[in-house]
Structure 1
Amino acid sequence: MNTSPLISAIVVSYNTRDMTLKCLRALKADLAGMPSEIWVVDNASSDGSAEAVEREFPDIHVLRSGRNAGFGAANNLAMAQARGELFLLVNSDAFLRAGCAAALVDCLERHPDAAAAGPRIIRPDGSLQISCFRFPSPARAVLENLFVASVFPDHPVLGDYRRWGHDREREVDWVIGACMLVRRKAYEDTGGFDERFFMYAEETDWQKRMRAAGWTIWFTPAGEVVHVGGGSADPEARFNERMFVSLDAYTLKHHGWAGLLVLRSAMVAGCSLRAAGWLIASLFPARRHHAAGRVRRHLRLVVRQALHWRAPGRGALA
């Protein structure tokens, strides 16, 4: 009898051949003994990623998108064909530690209203990567850029998760897409990723829609993933631009033009205050070089947020 697997794991690859293979080795080891299948979506890599996966893992399903379709579109392509009751989405530069998948499954089983769960994520040096966040909003932008959230980090409304140790299971607004387990029913309720987001904010938008549909999102430290970060990403300047364009698109979608104006104004104020602070720090010789770079970075962001306006669409996000 051809029974459906419990988990369909999906890895999106774009010119990350060696890391993709390492990711898949860790993934297969963690899924051993669990009813599962693995899908790799190759976004038109030029480094032989798809061929390398097929050679080493003939049992893995490889989909060639034919273009760099973006993270969300690539995952949608696989989820539309996968058979599992749960979708385990894993970045190609994320390596599951033993027991991670089982911990995520356990979390969803204990919280039947949970659409998705994310694990504790650490960097290669062992330090914690913040992986849970509040939903972006004009009000949240004001709280963060005027440092209210920093003054009240643990407040249930004013605070955020940045100073939290990620050391206990809890409901959160959203978890990053480096590794997340998603319930098929939540996928069917929401239709998957909005493919107008090419990169960044796509998982935020999806989880926003999950919560709007009545689902919850959970974090559990019982599972751990090592995340390299930036495996197929852009240099910092390009990364920042893509991130802000996606944030603009998210804000426009959920809060309209008035909300985008408030968010941009808050970011201009926050970056100006940070630039002023680093300018003062640059007066001290020991910090001058580092501070000067920070001043330039924040001033560039001020200019971008104040002057760079365009309606984000698929063309802007691609």
Structure 2
Amino acid sequence: MSSPIALSIIIVNFETPDYTLECIRSIFKNQPSSSFEVILIDNGSEDRSLDLIRSEFPEVVCIETGKNLGFARANNLGINNARGEFVLLLNSDTKILDNSLDRMLEYLFANPEAGAIGPRQLDGNGKLQLSWGGFPTLVSEVLRKLVHHRLSINDLKIRDYLEEKYAGASDVDWVSGSCLMARKKTLLDAGLLDGHFFMYFEDIDLCRRIKDNGWRIHYNSDITIVHYGGVSAKKNILNVLVEYRHSQIYFTRKYYGLNGVLALKAILLVKYSVNFLRWGITFMVDKLFRQKAQTSFAKLLLSKKTLEMVYKPERVVPGLGLDCGRSL
């Protein structure tokens, strides 16, 4: 039997070899002082990702899924194969800085009540990312979107407010799964990530179940990493945005019941009906005046797909009662 180690770092790769290699390089450049392993889950990549990674880092444990399992199920595969007392879920498009791994480990050792910790995350341009928060409601989701937008355009007032309010270690409801460190036992006791989430909301759901087991979730702004963000998603942004809504509906049904789902679907119905008309007219005008219509067509198609999802009957999932119309 393999001997236990302190930390298992799990990275899910789907055709992002350049970013994944940069991520792994940053780990070994800023490696923790404790024993560690890197487990790479390749989620059905059809490019040369694995060949490149194995060539440069033969010490990395590579596990091939053969198909895209989604973020949650791929990470669960990594957790189940992890030898570490602690586990770090790390996106492939992140970059470890300085001694951030040691500091996260030290924090969990020093704070036994903390079930998971997430660091401050900056994008590639140094803009603060909203990688923590409270459990979502219909109202808070609207506010979060507004804050996210203000941060994306580098609104210094919003950034300074968040940096001041959440300076140091803060008790929060969730931290992003793009960089989340926890005790392996904590993850196992929580039941791992819910595989019904293909992408999005699975980290919030996990943190909720960790908190339900009596642990605290901490965000620590004194520890920083870089998260470029959405690298895989940008390759198929339309389907990704629809998947976001699938996960949002599933999360809402799981925690707020049928009434919550009906309220959410009513909001989505109004929003995307208006968008469908708006972008349909814009698309026709663009075509009429021979202008580039890719943007208007993409947004028109997104509105159509979202409306189809809202109207689609929900199927039953054993033990929960909902599938959100998505094959898993």
* TM-score, normalised with respect to structure 2: 0.77
- Which residue of 161, 164, 167 corresponds with 2:162? 164
C-alpha separation in 2, matches of 1:262 and 1:233: 27
Secondary structure of the structure 2 residue equivalent to 1:218? strand
1:219-239 deviation digits (Å, cap 9, x = unpaired): 011221111111211444322
1:102-124 deviation digits (Å, cap 9, x = unpaired): 12112212321211100000011
Which has the higher mean CA deviation after the structures are superposed, 304-313 or 214-223? 304-313
Matches within 5 A, 1:71-220: 71-136=71-136, 140-142=137-139, 145=142, 164-165=162-163, 166-220=166-220
Quote the residue 1:14 is aligned against. Answer: 14
Would the aligned equivalents of 2:128 and 2:159 in 1 still touch at CA under 8 Å? Answer: no
Matches within 5 A, 1:241-256: 241-256=242-257
Over the aligned positions, Cα root-mean-square deviation in angstroms equals 3.3
* TM-score, normalised with respect to structure 1: 0.80
C-alpha separation in 2, matches of 1:112 and 1:129: 27
Matches within 5 A, 1:217-296: 217-234=217-234, 235-266=236-267
Secondary structure of the structure 1 residue equivalent to 2:87? strand
Would the aligned equivalents of 1:145 and 1:270 in 2 still touch at CA under 8 Å? Answer: no
Amino acid at match of 1:316: R
CA shift in 2, pair 1:205/1:305, >3 Å: farther
CA shift in 2, pair 1:270/1:173, >3 Å: farther
Secondary structure of the structure 2 residue equivalent to 1:21? helix
Which has the higher mean CA deviation after the structures are superposed, 303-312 or 50-59? 303-312
Secondary structure of the structure 2 residue equivalent to 1:6? strand
Would the aligned equivalents of 1:114 and 1:217 in 2 still touch at CA under 8 Å? Answer: yes
Would the aligned equivalents of 1:5 and 1:84 in 2 still touch at CA under 8 Å? Answer: yes
Question: What is the Cα deviation at residue 303 of structure 1?
Answer: 9.5
1:98-146 deviation digits (Å, cap 9, x = unpaired): 111112112212321211100000011111111112212xxx2135548
Matches within 5 A, 1:28-39: 28-39=28-39
Secondary structure of the structure 2 residue equivalent to 1:107? helix
Would the aligned equivalents of 1:264 and 1:306 in 2 still touch at CA under 8 Å? Answer: no
Report whether the alignment pairs 1:313 with 2:323. Answer: yes
Amino acid at match of 2:247: S
Q: Which runs of 5+ in 2 are unaligned?
A: 148-157, 276-294, 315-321
C-alpha separation in 1, matches of 2:51 and 2:17: 9
Which has the higher mean CA deviation after the structures are superposed, 185-194 or 4-13? 185-194
CA shift in 2, pair 1:224/1:272, >3 Å: farther
Secondary structure of the structure 2 residue equivalent to 1:219? strand
Question: What is the Cα deviation at residue 205 of structure 1?
Answer: 1.1
1:290-315 deviation digits (Å, cap 9, x = unpaired): xxx99x969x7699469823326286
Question: What is the Cα deviation at residue 260 of structure 1?
Answer: 1.1
Would the aligned equivalents of 2:12 and 2:71 in 1 still touch at CA under 8 Å? Answer: yes
C-alpha separation in 2, matches of 1:46 and 1:92: 16
C-alpha separation in 1, matches of 2:253 and 2:14: 28
Question: What is the Cα deviation at residue 15 of structure 1?
Answer: 0.2
Question: What is the Cα deviation at residue 79 of structure 1?
Answer: 0.9
Matches within 5 A, 1:33-52: 33-52=33-52
CA shift in 2, pair 1:307/1:163, >3 Å: farther
Which has the higher mean CA deviation after the structures are superposed, 234-243 or 110-119? 234-243
